[in-house]
Amino acid sequence: MLAWTTTPDTPGGLTFAPALDPVPLPHEVLVCVEAIAPNPGDLAGLADAPAGTVPAWDGSGVVLEPAADGTGPTAGERVLFLGLSGGWAQRRAVPRAMTAAAPRTSPSSTSPPFPSPPPAPCVPCGGSAPCSADGS
């Protein structure tokens, strides 16, 4: 998986690099990230984040794996999500309570994440990167 990770000694403080795949807890869903919305909180946290942190709070995508406890959205469902980190990656584990069904009428690349600036297409996925859990 690829992700934007904090790299304090580089210009801009971020590097697009391989990162470990998230391992969902029983109450979390695994999401293929399709769109992100950088917001002031994301940017403010970069300076203090340890090297290698995958930042970002909110975005939208498709559920790859539902929560193991059987709650929340199902595989293939498009969702909006919110969390405290991990959003600027191809895949993200998200607590099911922090997801909401995405509007059915909007294309994935423009699904509005939670209230933030307008969404930006996800650079890691670019809308065409592999989104299966095994990278295929």
Confidence of residue 45 (pLDDT cuts 50, 70, 90): confident
Read off the pTM.
0.78
Structural domains of the chain in order of their starting residue, each with its CATH number: 2-119 (3.90.180.10)
Picking from 25, 130, 129, the residue whose alpha carbon sits closest to that of residue 86 is 25
SS3 content of the chain, % helix, strand, coil (to 5): 10, 30, 55
Give the model's pLDDT for residue 92. 95
Max intra-chain CA distance, the chain: 43
Average pLDDT value for residue range 104-129? 51
Residue 40 in this model has a pLDDT that exceeds 90: no
- Tell me the two tokens of residue 130: 């592999």
